[in-house]
Chain A
Amino acid sequence: MGTAQRVSRMMPFPAGAGMARALVERNVRAYKHAWTTLVSGFFEPVFYLFSLGVGMGALIGDIDAGNGRMVAYASFVAPALMAAAAMNGAVMDSTFNLFFKLKYAKLYDSVLATPLGPRDVAVGEISWALIRGGLYSTVFLLVAAVAGVVESWWAVLALPAAVLIGFAFAAVGMAATTFMRSWQDFEYINLTILPMFLFSATFFPLSAYPAALQWVVQATPLYHGAAMIRALMLGDVGASLLVHVIYLLVMGMIGAVFAARRIERLLLT
């Protein structure tokens, strides 16, 4: 509960957005009826971890994690899967689910008849995406620790890091959703997310890319997310972490301001 308020205070909105927690409560209640869907979400990254870590790990062996340090493939890929899961969850919540509520369930038509305003809607939905994402990340981190692919206590910080990734993607996803006209447009989301998932130095290290493409890879947000969590889980903490944090923070802020503005225009006609 406090989270929603804290987030709303953190966000650069001029006024209002004090009632966002009521919307978070609404989502909690709705998910009580669909808890199986919520729980099933835990398994997706775990399946990937075992397939890649156990199956592919045996074929690949140890790999260079960046600075000449050799780690098991599972330890290399687990942080990227955690980052990708944070991204996917946030994007799902802020695009498909939001679009459904906006266009089909007409949920916000009834919300806006109450004292809640468009900013409460934006903050409430982003907060909920973060809470849910935080929950998933916690479980994933525990599984990864049990599986023995967590190499450092710095990994505890991977939780807030995953929430930051979620924030950045949820904010931008929400802004993008306000431009969506029909389900067909969601192909563009897939078109953005899937290449990013596969090519952000997630499954194989940056050095495996052609030199010309390394710059492109380093420009993507998921690259920063994965690199950030990888540094924490492997214990390679350095100043470069700050770059990742700032990148994602700025992305999230810009997305959030934009989303709030767009939602206002979209909902108050």
Chain B
Amino acid sequence: MPAVNTAHTPIASPRPVTRRPGRMWDRALAYWMMSYRRVWRGSIISGFLSPLLFLVAIGIGLGSLVDDGPAGGIEGISYLMFLAPGILAAQAMQTAISESTFPVLGAMKWQRQYHAMTAAPLGIADIVLGHLAFIAFRLTITSTTFVVIATAFGAIESWWVVLAVPVAILTGLAFAAPVFAYAARQEGPSGFSMLFRFVMLPLFLFSGTFFPVDQLPVVLEVIAKFTPLWHSVELCRGLALETLSLLPALGHLAYLLAWLALGITLAMRGFRAKLVV
């Protein structure tokens, strides 16, 4: 048996490279991409089939009743064309929220991947931004897929919809970041059912996705206009139907960006409170 070598043997080994915290988020992203390779099949249904089913059932099925209804369509167009950009925005919200609830709680409390990252040179900003970057990647795939399919269904006709994809990604991130902050502080999953039922579902149903918010009672209409989803729906619909004008568009964008910035700040604070103790 060789004697135990306690002296340092000089080996030409590559040394770890450290950059400033906040500049290493690509390493956190690399982790999420790698783990996604094992599970991507499961996300096909939620990410792609469910908006498609909604589009067919509500847009075409229920839409046929709307188009035959008292107003003969909605705002002068077929219900399917009204609905499709709404679903694009709503789907971005749903994808982002579901990607930033259980996965975040799991990485914080159960599988503890975040703790593993802090044990490496990664900082809080790297962890938050890396995970958000992964969600942006997911949003890119689901939104693009949906736009292509909706166009094939004749639900979208304008080329301007190409710009609706980045809007959908921004929408998702504007939800993901504050939900990161919320999820980081959860001790168990019970808080999520509250989030799903009292935030996500009402937004989905009442933020202009399915019908114009001016059909709501005035109080609810005002509330609806404060939700980021309404601004996103307005942007997506305006692009898909070519009815958007510049000033309101900038306003909607600024509002979504503000949510994103606030969300990232809160998320970093929440992550720091849990990871740096």
Contact = CB atoms under 8 A, between A and B. Distances in A.
Any A–B CB pair closer than 8 Å:
yes
Given A36-B194, A44-B201, A198 B54 contact: yes
Interface in B53-99: 53-54, 56-58, 61-62, 64-66, 69-71, 74, 79
Interface size class of B (residues with CB under 8 A): 35 or more
Interface residues of A, number: 32
A71 to B, nearest CB: 13
B121 interface: no
B61 A56 contact: no
A245 B190 CA distance: 35
Contact of B65 (A191, A194, A198, A204): A204
Contact of B62 (A44, A54, A56): A56
A63 B65 contact: yes
A132 B254 CA distance: 45
B50 interface: yes
A184 B61 contact: no
Interface string A51-78: 1001110111101000000000100000
Nearest to B193: A37
B53 A56 contact: no
B206 A55 contact: yes
A148 interface: no
Contact of A190 (B50, B54, B202): B50
A204 B62 contact: yes
Contact of A61 (B70, B193, B206): B70
Contact of B210 (A40, A51, A190): A51
B20 to A, nearest CB: 37
Contacts of A59: 66, 69-71, 74, 79, 211, 215
A208 interface: yes
Interface string B162-187: 00000000000000000000000000
Contact of B46 (A40, A187, A204): A187
B258 interface: no
B223 interface: no
A56 B211 contact: yes
Contact of B57 (A50, A60, A198): A198
B244 interface: no
A50 B58 CA distance: 16
Q: Counting chain B CB atoms within 10 Å of each CB, which of A47, A54, A56, A195 scores highest? A: A56
A184 B197 contact: no
B192 to A, nearest CB: 10
Chain A at the B interface: SS class:
helix
Interface in B209-242: 210-211, 215-216
B45 interface: yes
Contacts of B193: 37, 40-41
A184 B65 contact: no
Contact of B211 (A58, A61, A204): A58
Contact of A55 (B45, B50, B71, B211): B211
Nearest to A209: B61
B154 interface: no
Interface in B130-168: none
A184 B44 CA distance: 11
B49 interface: yes
Contacts of A215: none
Given A56-B66, A194-B50, A203 B215 contact: no
B42 A184 contact: yes
A58 B215 contact: yes
A190 B45 contact: yes
A48 interface: yes
A56 B79 CA distance: 11
A60 B53 contact: no
Given A55-B211, A58-B215, A40 B194 contact: yes
A47 B205 contact: yes
A190 B43 CA distance: 11
Given A34-B190, A198-B54, A60 B65 contact: yes
Given A37-B193, A51-B205, A198 B46 contact: no
23 contacts: A37-B190, A41-B197, A47-B201, A47-B205, A51-B211, A55-B211, A55-B216, A56-B210, A56-B211, A59-B74, A60-B62, A61-B70, A187-B42, A187-B44, A187-B45, A191-B45, A194-B50, A198-B53, A198-B57, A198-B61, A203-B57, A204-B62, A204-B64
3 shortest A-B CB distances, which residue pairs?
A198-B57, A51-B205, A55-B211
